[in-house]
Amino acid sequence: MNASSKYTLKNGVEIPCIGYGTAPLTTTIGSEMPKGIDHALKCGFRLIDTAWAYKNEDFLGAAIKNSGLKREQLFVSSKCSNRFRGYDRALMCFKESLSLLGLEYLDLYLIHWPAKDGPDEEWQAINSSTWRAFETLYKDGYVRAIGVSNFWPRHLVPLMESAEIQPMVLQLEYHPGYTQPEPVRFAKEHGLIVEGWSPFGTGQLLNNETLKSIGEKYGKTPAQVILNWSIKNGVIPLPKSNNPERIAQNLNVFDFELSDKDMAVIDSMEYFGGSGWTPDTITW
Ligand code: A2P
């Protein structure tokens, strides 16, 4: 594997094995624009992950335009906001994202969060209706691949049962101490490629002594250890950083191989930090 390596989605589209996350760097939505995008593109990040809810698509679009890169060199991914669930509203959200980004198509479009499940089946109908909009966008050539974010198997099963076109990607929070084994296993069994957001546990893992001491053996930082570990586990990490040196560091993670023993240590780390968001707890 190297920084240009790709996985192939079930429809044949290729997706880079590492991406640049652009969620606002504080946890308050919309509070801070990522400033590192120019640098990320210069360094070689080609998968750029955004969302309508991040309120940065116009900013990213301008950076993409100024980068001088050809559109087909990039893999641009966005997400349909929770505020726009359902067929018509999802199409509206997509149209707005595409226009803000100044692009003619997206490489990947994801449902940001599932509708909260409950005793009646309305939430399933809502997710399916959103998904039908995604199928329309896919068939009309506006998106090269479609998928979901933060869905657990209990959300994925009904969506997949009612889908005409199956989801190709599952994005979810994934880092040492929070590896979400059930959704990841389910996704892999059903041929979905998995992307992991907040690989550093919203930064809380970066001072971890275990990760530090593993990193020392390879001459790498805890951040680089985590990214290498995620890639080795077949999960596309989406590190966020606004700092040029750290952005470069986050792509320089392919020149070492964690031993099976170190992988096992990281795989079994206890939870001690993360976003705290789940499909059951998010309020936005
Ligand atoms: P910064 O922008 O100052 O680099 P996560 O992706 O898990 O949510 O974590 C994001 C946080 O991790 C940001 O605060 C970011 O800060 C920090 N970060 C990103 N890359 C590195 C790195 N290589 N070393 C240290 N901190 C990093």
* Ligand 1 closest atom vs CA 200: 7
The verdict on whether 174 is a catalytic residue reads: no
pLDDT > 70: percent of the chain: 96
For the Cβ of 199 lying below 6 angstroms from any atom of ligand 1, the answer is yes
Ligand 1: which of 204, 241, 272, 277 to mutate, most ligand atoms within 8 Å of CB? 241
pLDDT at 32: 52
User: Helix 181-189 to helix 153-162 angle, to the nearest 10 degrees?
Assistant: 30
pLDDT (mean) for 269-273? 92
Sequence-separated (6 or more) residues with CB below 8 Å from residue 203: none
More confident residue, 56 or 111: 111
Which listed residue (54, 109, 138, 178) is catalytic?
54
For the segment 22-37, what is each residue's pLDDT rounded down to a tens digit? 987 544 444 455 678 9
Q: What average pLDDT does the segment 154-177 reach?
A: 98
Mean pLDDT over the full length of the chain: 94
Mean pLDDT of 129-149: 98
- Say if ligand 1 is within 6 A of residue 19 CB: no
* Inter-residue contact 267 to 174 (CB < 8 Å): no
Q: Which residue has the higher pLDDT, 60 or 34?
A: 60
203 in contact with ligand 1, CB cutoff 6 A: yes
Give per-residue pLDDT as tens, 65-91: 999 999 999 999 999 999 999 999 999
- DSSP-based three-state secondary structure for 203: coil
Between 181 and 202, where is the model more confident? 181
The pLDDT, as a whole number, for residue 26 is 47
**CA–centroid distance, residue 206 to ligand 1 (Å):** 8
pLDDT category of residue 203 using cuts at 50, 70 and 90: confident
For residue 274, how far is its CA from the centre of ligand 1 (angstroms)? 13
Which residue, by CA, sits nearest to atom 14 of ligand 1?
Answer: 203
246 CB near ligand 1 (under 6 Å): yes
pLDDT on residue 272: 85
174 C-beta closer than 6 A to ligand 1 = no
pLDDT at 282 over 90: no
Across residues 45-49, what is the average pLDDT?
A: 98
pTM as predicted? 0.96
Ligand 1, residue 21: give the atom nearest the CA. Answer: 6
Average pLDDT over residues 252-281: 95
> H-helix or E-strand containing 120?
none
> Is 239 a pocket residue for ligand 1 (Cβ < 6 Å)?
yes
Strand partners, 175: 178
pLDDT (0 to 100) of residue 283: 79
Pairing of strands 14-16, 6-8: antiparallel
Distance from residue 260's CA to the centre of ligand 1 (Å): 26
Quick check: CB of 241 below 6 Å from ligand 1? yes
